[in-house]
Amino acid sequence: MSEAITTAQEQARILAHALPFLRRYAGATVVVKYGGHAMGEETLAEQFGRDIALLKQVGVNPVVVHGGGPQINAMLKRLAIQSSFVDGLRVTDAAMVEVVEMVLAGTVNKYVAGLITRAGALAVGICGKDGGMIRARKLARTTRDPGSHIERVLDLGFVGEPESVDVRVIHALTGAGLIPVIAPVAMGEDGQTYNINADTVAGAVAGALGANRLLLLTDVPGVLDGEKRLIAELGVDAVRARIADGTISGGMIPKVETCVEAVARGVKGAVILDGRQPHACLLELFTEGGIGTLIRP
């Protein structure tokens, strides 16, 4: 048997295996948060664009929310603007929020939309300010002094969180056969622009849409147990228990909390998975068991 025939048979076998999953997600809305190292690596970025285009072509309605931390850092360095973080959140003053909006809603947003469009689908780059899609409020955070145990309020500047999501713009785009690509920049009632964590925006958008899946592409395989093995699935109560016993810690806590909140808002399942894995979205949606950690009610 020639190599060409063997390859063709393998492709046919893969398609046949994927058919039940294609039926499962036909017409479904899948919100994908894209960022991290997968965005910065050219081959992975091109694969991501092709995978999102493929989802649209097989009847899924993908909605992409992207970050852009490394790109913001690079621009701030070029402009000689110092940046600082508190609990993983960028302290954002008036000068910095202009740079954040320029990079996220401009360069990065159009880059991600271009990846998908070049792959054969039609993607449109927007941000939370467009059409009043996302209404933001200033993020309120407190910290406790380890010595005195006195709590104080942290002022992170123009860092926000979603207060509400109006899905009409998203529905207008998806209804026209387009793929929305959303930058996590939004406006508050005061007319001020706020920088919002991309995971948080993805969770809020997924909840407002009642999405079938929320996929958070990260730089780790998912939630790991005490032996550093991937946990394939967690219920909401199990998530809280593993935060309490320290199994889930550090930067993974806000990610699982985003997933829990999305599920509470009606998302059927939220997945934390490794965006560095080639074809991560396809492997998660169209194979038995997926490749990340599924959080469901």
Band of the pLDDT at 87, cuts 50, 70, 90? low
Residue pLDDT, tens place only, 15-43: 677 777 778 888 999 999 998 777 878 99
Give the Cα separation of 119 and 130 in Å (integer): 25
**Of 143, 168, 139, 138, residue with least CA distance to 153:** 143
Name the CATH code of domain 26-218+265-280 (choices 3.30.420.40, 3.40.1160.10, 1.25.40.10, 3.20.20.70): 3.40.1160.10
**Structural domain spans, the chain:** 26-218+265-280
Give the Cα separation of 103 and 72 in Å (integer): 6
- Report the percent of the chain where pLDDT is more than 70: 92
Give the Cα separation of 161 and 257 in Å (integer): 14
The bridge status of strand 185-188 relative to strand 179-183 is: unpaired
